[in-house]
Amino acid sequence: MSAHSYRRLRIAVGALVLAFCTLAFADVPDWISAPAARIGLWFQFTPSLLSLTQGIGWLSLGCLAVLALTLLVGRVYCSMLCPLGILMDLSAWLAGRTGRNRKLPYKPGKTTIRIAAVAICTVGLALGTAVPLGLLDPYSIFGKIVTATIRPLAGWTNQLISQTGLTQPYDFSPVAWATAGVALGLLALIVITAIFRGRLWCNTACPVGAILGFFSKFSLFRLHISSSQCVACSLCERTCPAQCIDFKNHRIDHSRCIMCLNCVTSCKRNGIHLTTGKLDRGLQSAPTSEPIPHLQSSIHDPLAKPLPRRAILGASLAIPAAALAEKHQGNGPGNGKGRGNASGQGIGGGQAQGHGNGHGNGHDPKYSCSGPNRLTQFNKTPSLPPGAKSLRHFQSHCTACQLCVANCPEQVLRPSITKHGLAGFLQPYQDFEVSFCSFNCSNCSDVCPTGAIQPLTIEDRQHVQTGVAQLFRSRCVVKTEGTSCGACAEHCPTGAVHMVPWKNGLTIPEVDPDLCVGCGGCEFICPVRPDKAIIVVGHTTHQKAKLPELGDQNTVRKIEEEFPF
């Protein structure tokens, strides 16, 4: 294959990857299903690596395929398969169409910064948080950008088109301001650096680029500059987005080369070839049969310093090692589950939730029904998505890519600002103010590529207790207004919330915590304001609920009419 044919192939594959990833995160209904999105994203390096450490099927082998490809032909992942890298190339190309000619002279590699990026992500995983990795990983950054920009635009566009009858309207949850701020900030930083410095981000701050850069030094096929054909015109150096070509010394830093072959197509004398051969300290030089006068110069060569291979190899192995160590620290369930005000510490840090009996008025011991420490929908423990297992597991594997948020049919998942603390910044939680978790849905577990949300069947999901409903009768309109309601019981899919006789022929809700799955249907529909009368308090370690036989239909219904009070 010629260099020009390869370039056309790279552009075509990159365009398909960019379009697919954009549609997956924008979640245009009925275009890409949750399983299809996960299959199409299997080659994304970081989520695949995190899945591999948990042994989640063949879909987790994408990272191994990327490593094998890198050892064969170098960092083609960065130029063809990374959506953020493709976005950088698109930004630079659009900027070039304006007539602006960017200058990309050779710059020595920032090896220390690259190792530091991997080390920061590794330390975060070892401490039980994937937030640093989520802020540096290219796949996760791209997901944040699309869900904060393209997704709301797609929603608004659909609303306009649906008025003409050409499409069906669908609802989008509003974008969280913190997510939008982080995403727009990263987008501005990446676009600006791509326009003025090419792949600077990929070769400094990106942990995936650092890991693949180490393995690319040992690739079978590499680019080689022929000193006999080179006339030192510098065209190759000026067109290299990675700034890794030192044309004066006829050297290429293969740890930074992304195999775009821009240098090959720009060379007028065919002086750059794809060859095999030995690496000299990770850098390709001319064969010994063609001496290079520049190497005899007494001028200091910034490339002469060998790369710290042990440090880079250790850093590249540290991310999966940290993830594996986190996995084996234990996420067992709490042992304090019981009636009344019970709490207990579970193995691996799991916190069991206390459940009330009698009238179903179980309360978190930290809070009360009234007063300054009253429990409300705003200060409760948030509920994690079904399949998250525990807060510890979730925080150590979720890179906050927002794919589950985009693919949630009920739009109940929202990125956390402070709900999970700093260790869970931008990681999703269930917001029952805006919706509820469908009893017959496991989309988030189907689409999660990192294993932060474990795969669940519909039947398994119906047995997962993500939290438990707590009822405050003193706030219920049946007691405060003396009128009938029962909205919470009508919208409970398991019968955990049911009505019992009370006064004057009225019935009042009661909660059976053993049947509650924490779906939030009761809290979502409760008309009481400002503090709702029934609140779902999330578990930090998921439990198992006892469910009656309900058939295949979900009994949770949307609001059909306004309440008369």
pLDDT in tens, 158-173: 778 878 877 777 767 6
Class of domain 333-544: alpha beta
In the numeric block, the tokens 């079978």 are attached to 220
Task: List, in sequence order, every beta strand (DSSP E) within 346-444.
Answer: 351-352, 413-415, 428-430
C-alpha span between 153 and 269 (Å, rounded)? 47
What one-character DSSP code corresponds to residue 451?
S
410, two tokens? 């009920």
DSSP string, 402-420: -HHHHT-TT--EEE-SSTT
Indicate whether this model's pTM tops 0.85.
no
C-alpha span between 23 and 534 (Å, rounded)? 37
Single out the residue of 64, 39, 34 nearest to residue 49, CA to CA.
64
Q: What is the pLDDT of residues 459-502, one digit of tens each?
A: 999 999 999 999 999 999 999 999 999 999 999 999 999 999 99
pLDDT band of residue 237 (cuts 50, 70, 90) is confident
Residue 540 reports pLDDT greater than 50: yes
Task: Give the CA angle between residues 390, 395, 397 to the nearest 5°.
Answer: 100
C-alpha span between 363 and 341 (Å, rounded)? 6
Query: Is 333-544 the same fold as 216-289?
Result: yes
C-alpha span between 256 and 258 (Å, rounded)? 6
Say whether 117 sits in a helix, a strand or coil: helix
CA 385 to chain centre: 14
In the numeric block, the tokens 């676009």 are attached to 191
Q: Which one is predicted more confidently, 544 or 100?
A: 544
- CATH pick for 216-289 out of 3.30.420.40, 3.30.70.3270, 3.40.50.450, 3.40.50.920: 3.30.70.3270
Long-range contacts of the stretch 77-80 (C-beta < 8 A, 24+): 77/43, 77/45, 77/208, 77/212, 78/199, 78/202, 78/208, 78/209, 78/212, 78/258, 79/10, 79/14, 79/258, 79/259, 79/260, 80/10, 80/13, 80/14, 80/17
Contacts (Cβ under 8 Å, ≥6 apart) of 400:
130, 131, 134, 140, 144, 415, 425, 426, 427, 428
503, two tokens? 């006064």
C-alpha span between 264 and 2 (Å, rounded)? 10
Single out the residue of 369, 340, 342 nearest to residue 356, CA to CA.
340
C-alpha span between 50 and 206 (Å, rounded)? 16
Single out the residue of 355, 362, 360 nearest to residue 507, CA to CA.
360
Residue ranges per structural domain of the chain: 216-289, 333-544
Single out the residue of 338, 389, 352 nearest to residue 514, CA to CA.
338
Q: Which one is predicted more confidently, 323 or 194?
A: 194
How many residues are present in the chain?
Answer: 565
Q: What is the pLDDT of residues 384-427, one digit of tens each?
A: 999 999 999 999 999 999 999 988 888 899 999 889 888 999 99
Q: What is the pLDDT of residues 243-263, one digit of tens each?
A: 999 988 888 999 999 999 999
Contacts (Cβ under 8 Å, ≥6 apart) of 477:
483, 485, 527, 528, 533, 565
If you average pLDDT over residues 440-463, what whole number do you get?
A: 92
Q: Which of 79-93, 141-155, 208-222, 515-529 has the lowest mean pLDDT?
A: 141-155
Q: What is the pLDDT of residues 367-385, one digit of tens each?
A: 455 555 688 888 899 999 9
Say whether 245 sits in a helix, a strand or coil: strand
CA 417 to chain centre: 15
